[in-house]
Amino acid sequence: MFSDYIKEWLNSVKNQVAKSTYKGYYDHVNGRMISYFENEEILLRDVSLADIYNYIEHLFSEGLKPNTVKHHRSILSCVFARAVEQELFEYNFINNLKPIKSDQYIGNFYKHDELLHLFEVVKDTTIRLEIILASVYGLRREEVLGLKWGAIDFTRKTITIRHTVQRFKINGKTQFVF
């Protein structure tokens, strides 16, 4: 079954990619991909470009954004790259798919009065500094949590992001990646 081959691929890359990358693969594969292809009962040798297009259309019909669908397509490309390496297919036909057009990202931000209110709300909490750093410097949560004293240059008045901290679950087990 194609769905079984996807699981094998996922297991094969577990120790070859960063934990955060594996987490993304794991979520997409186990979130929608496996169940879709299990329901379709497609054998690996029978997978066609039409099957992949149907899967992509299914993802869009579930309301997924183009960038998320691109991640699914990328995973399928990796799955088929492995199948080509194993001489199960002559070429990676995922490369023949039409490009998926991305949505234009429009950022959202706090207004001045909203920031002042946020600072007031967190002033006596243990996360006050993290909120201020994220707000003033536009840092992501993972970047704030990864800050170390060595990242701060008081002479030049700069902060250099060198580390991040991410928390996620794999197989129901919470893990931190530093």
Task: Note the pLDDT tens digit of each residue in 76-121.
Answer: 999 999 999 999 998 898 888 888 888 777 878 889 999 999 999 9
Tokens at residue 33, please?
């991909």
Are the C-beta atoms of residues 2 and 79 closer than 8 Å to each other? no
Residue 160: CA count within 13 A, CB half-sphere: 7
Q: For 18-56, write each residue's pLDDT tens digit.
A: 888 888 899 999 989 999 999 999 999 999 999 999 999
Q: In this predicted structure, what is the pLDDT of residue 53? A: 94
pLDDT value of position 42: 94
Helices (H), 14-102: 19-28, 34-40, 49-61, 66-85
Domains and CATH numbers, the chain: 2-96 (1.10.150.130), 109-137 (no CATH), 139-178 (no CATH)
| pLDDT at site 99 | 84
Buried-state track 119-156, b at ≥16 Cβ within 10 A, e below 16: eeebeeeeeeebbbebbeeebeeebbbbbeeeeeeeee
The whole-model pTM stands at: 0.70
The type of residue at 18 is A
